[in-house]
Chains A and B, each alone.
Chain A
Amino acid sequence: MTRVLTWLRDQPWIWSFLGALTVWLVIVLAHTQGGGATLTMTLNFSVFFVIVGIGQMLVITTGPGNIDLSIPATMALGGAIAMKVMNGMESGIPVGLLYALLTGVAIGVFNFGLIWLLRIPPIIATLSSNFIVLSVAISYGRGLRVKPPEAFSDFTVAHILGLPIMALVAILLAIGMAAVLARTIYGRSVTAIGQNTKAARLAGIKVNRTRLITYAISAALSALAGALLAGFSGGSALDLGAEYLMGSISVVVLGGTSVAGGKSNVPGIWGAAMFLYLLVAMLNTFGIGMGLRLVLTGICIVAVITIGGGEKNR
């Protein structure tokens, strides 16, 4: 038993799950909402943060300074393109999702082009490309109010045994990504580059190719999340991804991934995404005003990272 506890204590993801569990218990004990219903809602809303967070996590893991700030615009453009291509017709769903994914890949390649060819620091490169992609989304989506196909909207809210189907897909995605990180050459390369880029290069790892793939995956997942979110919320909007800029960074780091790179954690993203949603839900059900709610949310984020501890060695 103690061995299990020691093992658990050393898992970086445990803090985010403990946080989520605590907040959930408070909600259940306060009898404001049923525990099961709360959980279903939590899973439903966490999905988008998880999908985007996995991409952000890969980017952050490739080393200090690597971060993807182009997520909000990529989500907006992904959502707009998917909705326009689907054009409200069920037959267009696969093509729409494919176009969104390809758009994401293109944005990711563009991001890395700026970083690699022009030697622009990733923060500034992805920030600039966020501006550019947002402009593309604005002019592309001008006057666009296309409703998602009914089947697509239904899919984003469908349940099996009380579990949202999308959550199951995102859980599979998380498991898959954890396997990729732990077992494939690409995954090990990402971690190696994050720990020591120079050593990784000397060891024969194709650093630039790995980083290119990473930025492409991050943008592709953002675009996909944008398309799903557009289906979930009944159409795309320009500010679709606004809260995911800071949100994606929060879930990744609260989930136990090191900002310094080289140490990733997939399950933690789920814990952190649920924690953040439940926190807001709890403060909402207590009827706390927006100002105080934001203050408490911020304090909780700082508290979790303080208790969970930062980098042990630097």
Chain B
Amino acid sequence: MNNIAFLRVLRRCLPVLALMIILVPTFSIQPRTLSYFGLNLLLNLAIPLVFATLAQMFIIAVNDLDLSIGAFVSLAACITVRVIPESAVLGVCALLMAIVAYSLMGALIHIRNLPSIVVTLGMSFVWLGFSILILPRPGGNAPDWLQTAANYQPPIVPLPIIVAAAIGLIVHFGLMRSSYGTILRGTGGNARAIARAGWSILSAKMITYGLAGLFGVLSGLILAGITTSADANLADRYTLLSIAAVILGGGDFVGGRVSPTGAVLGAITMTLAGSFLSFVKVSTDWQIGAQGIILIIVLAGRVITIRGEK
């Protein structure tokens, strides 16, 4: 019994361990990264992925999978750099409409009992198409206030760390500690039981997908603020990276078992893996492959804990 409790704790700690595996060698090879500006540069691009990962995590919490989040984040970024500078009202309306569309996608999936993989796959073409219609060529210009906000430098602790910690805690308390958060996760665990208890699965799915849409839009806004311009394929990689980050953070594909804090750490680990590889001078040919190997090594750690629990 004690043994199982220990393995549970170990499983919870895995995301932290994974981050350390990447972070410690990075610091020892490039001590300069262990400074205010170093950390800022290192972690800046992790923040949009953190938000995309949390969006993916909401979907995974209700047993679905979102293959469109990357295209959706790109769309939000395209709207941000193209529409908002011309008309803020129109831009905000477009972003709100995108969130509503996401929520309706959840409703459609639930009402017709459709496989989420296929619906989101189809919708990824729709988001990409709209991105190209809005921004046919790479370019645009993020509004000044957004660029200022994205580059804001608070005293002592770099902005990415503050944002990551804050959003991780907010989602943790919202999803893991609140009563409605339990209903949402219960939808992934046993939807029938939740329905029998008198809750509407339809509303739960619509809220989950709406939240995912909201976080996708936030991810796009921040990404546009950092990169200042956008293109229709800007965040393509986020789809697969976000899935990997959720699992790396201790989530399961079924049963509503997710961890918001783990997902945040997972997203940071995935981003750092890229810069870590360039620090240790892996040849560019093998950088993608090494990212795959890192993913395998870290996830292999789960073997011990999962086998133990069974």
Q: Which residues of A contact B (CB under 8 A)?
A: 64-65, 67, 69, 114, 118-121, 123-125, 127-136, 138-139, 142, 246, 249-250, 253-254, 258-260, 289-302, 305-306, 309-312, 314
Q: A118-B296, A131-B292, A135-B286 are in contact. Are A298 and B129 (CB under 8 A)?
A: yes
CB of B87, distance to nearest CB on chain A (Å): 20
Are A250 and B115 within 8 A (Cβ)?
no
Interface residues of B in 224-268 (CB under 8 A from A): 240, 243-244, 247, 253-254
Chain B residues with CB under 8 Å of A139's CB are: 283, 285-286
Are A291 and B290 within 8 A (Cβ)?
no
Chain B residues with CB under 8 Å of A119's CB are: 302-303, 306-307
In this assembly, does B3 line the interface, its C-beta being within 8 Å of a C-beta of chain A? Answer: no
CB of B117, distance to nearest CB on chain A (Å): 6
Chain B residues with CB under 8 Å of A301's CB are: 118, 121-122, 125
Q: List 11 A-B contacts (CB under 8 A).
A: A65-B254, A118-B303, A119-B302, A120-B296, A127-B244, A128-B295, A133-B289, A134-B288, A249-B117, A253-B117, A301-B118
Q: A298-B122, A299-B122, A305-B122 are in contact. Are A292 and B296 (CB under 8 A)?
A: no
Residue from the list A64, A133, A258 in contact with B254, Cβ < 8 A: A64
Question: What is the 8 Å Cβ interface bit string for chain B, positions 172-184, against chain A (1 contact, 0 not)?
Answer: 0000000000000
Q: Is the interface of B mostly helix, strand, loop or mixed?
A: helix
CB of A32, distance to nearest CB on chain B (Å): 22
CB of B167, distance to nearest CB on chain A (Å): 24
Q: Is the interface of A mostly helix, strand, loop or mixed?
A: helix
Are B132 and A310 within 8 A (Cβ)?
no
In the complex formed, the residue of B with least CB distance to A300 is B122
Q: A118-B303, A249-B121, A298-B129 are in contact. Are A130 and B115 (CB under 8 A)?
A: no
CA distance A305 to B113 in the complex (A): 10
CA distance A103 to B285 in the complex (A): 19
CA distance A311 to B132 in the complex (A): 33
Chain B residues with CB under 8 Å of A295's CB are: 125-126, 129-130, 133
CA distance A47 to B24 in the complex (A): 49
Are A124 and B295 within 8 A (Cβ)?
yes
Q: A118-B300, A135-B290, A301-B125 are in contact. Are A249 and B295 (CB under 8 A)?
A: no
Residue from the list B133, B283, B295 in contact with A291, Cβ < 8 A: B133
Are A132 and B292 within 8 A (Cβ)?
yes
CA distance A120 to B121 in the complex (A): 23
CB of B21, distance to nearest CB on chain A (Å): 16
Are B118 and A254 within 8 A (Cβ)?
yes
Residue from the list B67, B132, B293 in contact with A294, Cβ < 8 A: B132
